Every structure is written in C-alpha cells, then in structure tokens.
A and B are shown apart, each in its own frame.
Chain A
C-alpha cells in the first residue's frame, strides 16, 4: 500500500474502516438476510471517496477494514475476511478509473454500488464453484445475493449525494461534490 494520502485523510479512512467493521458486527441482522453488510460497505467506501476525493481511497478503506476486522476478531475472523472487505472496494476503485467524471454524483454512486455488489457476489460464486457446488445452484445463490446485496448497496448509494452535499455546505470538504 503506497500512500498518496496525507495523514489527515489516512486517519479519516482508518476511522471509517473501523466504524464499518464495528457497526457491521453490531448490526448483524437476522441470519439469512445477507446483504446488509453491502449497505455499510457501500456507504463508507463512497463516503471515503467523496471526502478524500482520490482514486484508491476505497481500496485503502476496504483493506484497512479487513485488517481491523482480523485484529478485532470480528465475525468469523481469519484471513478470508481481507478479501471480503477488500474485493468490492478494489472493484469499485478500478471502475472509477474508467468512469471518473462521466456521470453525475448520484449515478456514479449507484453504478459503483452495483459494481461493488457484483464483486461481492462474484467472490461468493467463485468460492462456491471451488468447493464443488453445482453450477446451477451456485448461480441461484449468486443471483439471490446479488439481488439482496444490490438492493442494500443502491439504498446506501442514494444517500451519498445528500450527505456529501451537507458536509460541503458546512465547509468540511475541500472540493465541491459534482
């Protein structure tokens, strides 16, 4: 992880990542309703990007969240959790490289949310296929998690423009959100 961020940004990303991990462990809703974690992930990743305004902020937040989750032994712990948090963030950052400035903030947030969700469900699909699940069942589970996670992710994305605009109205952001 090379750091183009100054210390203040890095700390903010760290706080967001930590809060994300802890809220996720506290808000673990009813079992089976997976996907709520996509809400928190999408929300905090997009906030980080909005505040820091740099490609890479989301990846940093995701990887930090994974590390923090391992250190706090949140959830199931173990090295897998790094991928769980990191993969959607990396996908979102990667997508951002190709679409920066092409859409309004609102649509950019929604598209990024969906891409993050795709990466998240895709990771599930891949691991299910690896353990030898039949393709059809794996696809069915993939679709299910995509729909659930997607709904949560888009809900989070829809909140982003208002939150960023308010932060900006309070003079707390260096750059105006488009």
Chain B
C-alpha cells in the first residue's frame, strides 16, 4: 500500500511538470507576442533571433509553417500597396517592418500549437475554469466528430432531396439562404435536442451535486 502510494506520488509529480512546461510555453508565447508590439525597432533583431529558435524547434518536430508564411505574404500584399499609395516609395521599409511585427506576433502562437498537445493546453486553460465550463468544453470537443457527421449527413440528405446547395449551386449567392434553412437550421435543431439530452444524462449521473468534484485519474499505473 505504502509503495503504491509513493509510486502514485511520483507519477503525479511527473504529470505536473509536463503541464508546467506547457504553462511556461503558454506564458512565453504571450510574452514574445506582446514583445512584437511593444519592443523598439532596435530590439527587434533579438526578438527575431528568439523566434527563429522557435521556428527551428517547430520545424524540427515536423510541423508545417507554410500556412503562416502564406498569411504573412497576404498581409504584405495588403499593406505595402497602401503604404505606396498613401506615403509613396520612401516609407516602404516602414511598411515592411510593420508587417514583420504582425508576423512576429503570430509566430509564437504557431509554435505553441505546434509543440504542445491540445489536451495539455486544455488542462492549463482549465486551471481557472469552473467545473461546469470545463465539462462543457470537454463535452463539446468530444462531440465534435458526431456533430460534423450529422452536418455532413443532413447536407447529403438535402442534396438528394433536390436542394440547391451543391458546391456548384453555392457559387451563386442567391442559393446561400437555402443552405441556412435546410442544413444549418436542422443542425441547430439537432444541437438543441442534443444539449437537452446530454444535460439530462449528466444530471442523472449526479452532475453538480457536490461543489468540488474529484477527477478520474487519466494516467494510471498498469494494473
């Protein structure tokens, strides 16, 4: 019994440290993101250096950065012409720096989601969250595959019933309301019914009967 208890303790310590690492990463990405806004131009070099390390870390873990790069290019394509039109050629460099800062503000977020498991982030975020909302978030994410499947099936049924909502028909904005009424509306109806049923199922299993619910030990030693 004693040995068991000690082992359990060790596991707990290990778990907290993994979560702590995630919390640290969250904090770091927040700090670096705000750095992109508030640091003077002269310090930007250092920020780029630190962020470059993050990129190397993320890419090393086999994550794609192309989506973020595309976003940066799109931002550039929007801002530079505006700078050119309003301020002329002289201040183009300033425009580039501005876009660079926006890019640097987004980059730590990419690193965070690239290197941390979603459930770990969820764990950190739910530290301050009341039990009810933590449950709501977990249940919603857990039901996501079901909701998407329902949506796809309802879409397919209505297509077969002749609704003008095929990808081709949807190129015409005139058909968009049809999508709302015969797909989104039934999906909302399903969600309403589902939330009612799940709330009932949860209450029948004593949800909310004590103010401090305990937690199922997700990580256990093999029995």
Q: Which A residues are closer than 8 A to B by beta carbons? A: 1-3, 6-19, 22, 31-32, 47, 51, 64, 67-68, 70-73, 76-81, 127-128, 130-134, 136-137, 140-141, 144, 159, 162-163, 166-167, 170, 172
Contacts and interface: CB of A to CB of B under 8 A. Distances in A.
A156 B36 CA distance: 34
Residue of B91, B113, B180 ringed by the most chain A CB atoms within 10 A = B113
Contact of B121 (A12, A47, A71, A162): A71
B192 A79 contact: no
Interface in B68-82: 68, 70-71, 74, 77-79, 82
Given A31-B74, A73-B113, A3 B130 contact: yes
Interface string B190-205: 0111111011001100
Contacts of A159: 177, 180
Given A64-B133, A77-B113, A79-B26, A134 B91 contact: yes
Contact of B68 (A3, A8, A76, A131): A76
A145 to B, nearest CB: 10
Interface of B: 26, 29-30, 33, 36-38, 41, 68, 70-71, 74, 77-79, 82-83, 86-87, 91, 94-95, 97-98, 101-102, 105-106, 108-110, 112-114, 118-119, 121-122, 125, 129-130, 132-133, 136-137, 139-141, 143-144, 147-148, 151, 177, 180-181, 184-185, 187-189, 191-196, 198-199, 202-203, 207-208
Given A71-B119, A73-B113, A15 B147 contact: yes
8 contacts: A7-B203, A11-B140, A32-B78, A79-B109, A133-B95, A137-B87, A141-B82, A166-B185
B188 to A, nearest CB: 7
Contacts of B78: 32, 141, 144
Contacts of B121: 70-71, 73
Contacts of A130: 37-38
Contact of B109 (A10, A14, A81, A166): A81
A68 B87 contact: no
Given A64-B133, A64-B136, A67-B137, A18 B147 contact: yes
A32 B83 CA distance: 17
Interface of B is mostly: helix
A9 B199 CA distance: 9
B144 A134 contact: no
Contacts of B199: 6-8, 11
A175 to B, nearest CB: 14
B106 A80 contact: yes
Given A3-B133, A127-B102, A140-B82, A79 B195 contact: no
Given A47-B188, A70-B125, A80 B33 contact: yes
A14 B139 contact: yes
Contact of A140 (B41, B86, B97, B193): B86
A78 B112 contact: yes
B91 A15 contact: no
A118 B113 CA distance: 28
Contacts of A6: 199
Contact of A3 (B86, B122, B132, B207): B132
Contact of B141 (A72, A78, A172): A72
Contact of B136 (A14, A132, A137): A14
